[in-house]
Amino acid sequence: MRAFVITKYKEEPRAAEVSEPSVGEHDVLVRVEAAGVNQLDEKIRVGEFKQILPYRLPLILGHDVAGTVIDVGAEVRGFEPGDQVYSRPDKDRIGTFAERIAVAEADLALKPSSISMVEAGSLPLVALTAWQALVERGNVGPGQKVLIHAGAGGVGSIAIQLAKHLGAHVATTAGASSAGFVRELGADTVIDYRSQDFEQLLDGYDLVLDSLGGKNLEKSLRVLRPGGKAIGISGPPDPDFAREIGLNPLLRLAITGLSAGIRRQAKKLGVTYEFLFMRADGNQLRRISALVDAGKLRPVVGRVFPFEQTPQALQALARGGVRGKTVISHT
């Protein structure tokens, strides 16, 4: 089958003929019809995560899939050929920039019936990230104050909608040209990151979802109320993450050092910092599907590229400026 692969870090993906996916007894073989493009794909391509996610090269990138079931393993009970599904495959089984992929049944869900394949392909990684940050870790509820950085981006555009659905007051940072867009998504307070300093304008927040890291994360700690929480999806990784993915003691020590500064700052302020590397979860995707079909969440697709232009889709993502998600379509 055809796929786009990298044979070494920092090179552009190139088209290649690769082996068909191996379908285990608990796996579902999916014909890929749409695949979302994520910052994570670009970070892996340039080697940013090679110490903590040691992929074997050559590697097929791609963390989002929407498509049709072709075949199922002997023990699969929840899906059958012809089902329209979507998924964020497990971190050890990525590879959606291809014609077909085998996904564990536990990581798969029926796609929302009210949206297209392209829209469904945009959702899994960003929606699961928002869900795990706001629902699972943040326990966001009515009356809470949530700050979501980069509200016009892939994660931000879904996180704003989910936080609003959960009853929170939502603030976000965005460019002036995107202010109307993020307000339509549900943002109550919009801060122009080019001309305004969110640290000077916000305080007493329960939760910050930070996708930028660095100085932005440090400033985010200072808008939290005592006991508040900052969740970072751009890093730095923390010791809990190192334990979770089973890193060796030396790498655990290195990662503990990477996040020591920000965790120390958080402790001084009486707040906490957590790193989130979202995980695959079919059950959570089913709950997300229900919200989409109920009109509570809507996918935001900024650009669509044909499968043959997968490298150009990654380049466009790296350049930035796209509202919502960039998606690769096979139709």
Which of these, 275, 206, 202, lies nearest to 243 by C-alpha position?
275
Domains held by the chain: number: 2
Q: Are strands 84-87 and 325-329 parallel, antiparallel or unpaired?
A: unpaired
Domain shared by 35 and 175, yes or no: no
Domain shared by 162 and 108, yes or no: no
Which of these, 87, 30, 33, 40, lies nearest to 61 by C-alpha position?
40
Domain shared by 90 and 179, yes or no: no
Say which amino acid occupies 255. I
Domain shared by 140 and 266, yes or no: yes
DSSP assignment of 207-261 equals EEEESS-HHHHHHHHTTEEEEEEEEESSS---HHHHHHTT--HHHHHHHHHHHHH
Domain shared by 117 and 178, yes or no: no
Domain shared by 175 and 161, yes or no: yes
**pLDDT the model gives residue 230:** 98
Tell me how far apart the alpha carbons of residues 185 and 205 are, in angstroms, rounded to a whole number.
20
Supply the range of the domain harboring residue 184: 125-275
- How many other β-carbons are positioned within 10 Å of the β-carbon of residue 135? 16
- How many other β-carbons are positioned within 10 Å of the β-carbon of residue 68? 16
Domain shared by 245 and 142, yes or no: yes
Domain shared by 32 and 102, yes or no: yes
pLDDT tens for each residue of 62-86: 999 999 999 999 999 999 999 999 9
Which of these, 93, 87, 77, lies nearest to 36 by C-alpha position?
87
pLDDT tens for each residue of 226-265: 999 999 998 889 888 888 887 788 888 888 888 999 999 9
CATH of the domain at 254: 3.40.50.720
> Is residue 206 within a helix (H) or strand (E), and if so which, with residue range?
strand 205-210
Residue 51 has pLDDT above 80, yes or no: no
CATH of the domain at 306: 3.90.180.10
- How many other β-carbons are positioned within 10 Å of the β-carbon of residue 89? 23
Record the pTM.
0.96
Kindly report the average pLDDT of the chain as a whole number: 96
Domain shared by 31 and 111, yes or no: yes
Domain shared by 196 and 225, yes or no: yes
Q: Is residue 243 part of a domain?
A: yes
Q: Is residue 281 part of a domain?
A: no
**pLDDT the model gives residue 215:** 96
Domain shared by 129 and 171, yes or no: yes
Confidence of residue 184 (pLDDT cuts 50, 70, 90): very high
Q: Is residue 203 part of a domain?
A: yes
Q: Is residue 186 part of a domain?
A: yes
Tell me how far apart the alpha carbons of residues 106 and 85 are, in angstroms, rounded to a whole number.
12
**pLDDT the model gives residue 320:** 86
- Looking at residue 49, the DSSP 8-state letter turns out to be T
